[in-house]
């Protein structure tokens, strides 16, 4: 259920998503799912609850966990807003 919600949210807000499967199986709504192959451990998320949503800054290589478990769209939006404002130092 969370996969389609996340896809709609990402499309609406212009976010790039890398759907990673911990089991190697395709994720609902994400035919382009890739297997974990150590990504979670490399990001410090090994053993974290799933689904997990994280922001990753490819330039700084910083990982910002947004949330774990199924989140509603308004929760995703609020958490991403708060995290990105805190990290950039802006207070809009």
Q: For position 86, what pLDDT does the model report?
A: 61
Please, which residues bridge with residue 54 across strands?
65
For the segment 15-45, what is each residue's pLDDT rounded down to a tens digit?
999 999 998 888 888 889 999 999 899 888 8
Q: Residue 60's pLDDT band (boundaries 50, 70, 90)?
A: confident
Q: For position 19, what pLDDT does the model report?
A: 93
Do residues 67 and 3 lie in contact, with contact meaning Cβ atoms separated by under 8 Å?
Answer: no
Q: 82 φ, ψ to 5°?
A: -60, -45
Q: Residue 79's pLDDT band (boundaries 50, 70, 90)?
A: very high
Q: For position 65, what pLDDT does the model report?
A: 92
| Residues with Cβ within 8 Å of residue 64, at least 6 apart in sequence | 54, 55, 56, 57, 83, 84, 87
Average pLDDT, the chain: 87
Q: Whole-angstrom Cα distance, residue 49 to residue 60?
A: 25
């Amino acid at each position: 259920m969370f996969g389609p919600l996340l896809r709609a949210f990402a499309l609406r807000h212009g976010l790039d998503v890398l759907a990673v499967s911990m089991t190697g199986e395709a994720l609902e709504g994400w035919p382009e799912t890739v297997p974990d192959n150590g990504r979670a451990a490399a990001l410090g998320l090994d053993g974290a609850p799933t689904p997990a949503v994280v922001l990753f800054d490819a330039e700084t290589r910083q990982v910002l966990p947004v949330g774990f478990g199924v989140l509603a769209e308004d929760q995703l939006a609020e958490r991403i807003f708060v995290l990105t404002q805190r990290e950039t130092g802006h207070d809009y």
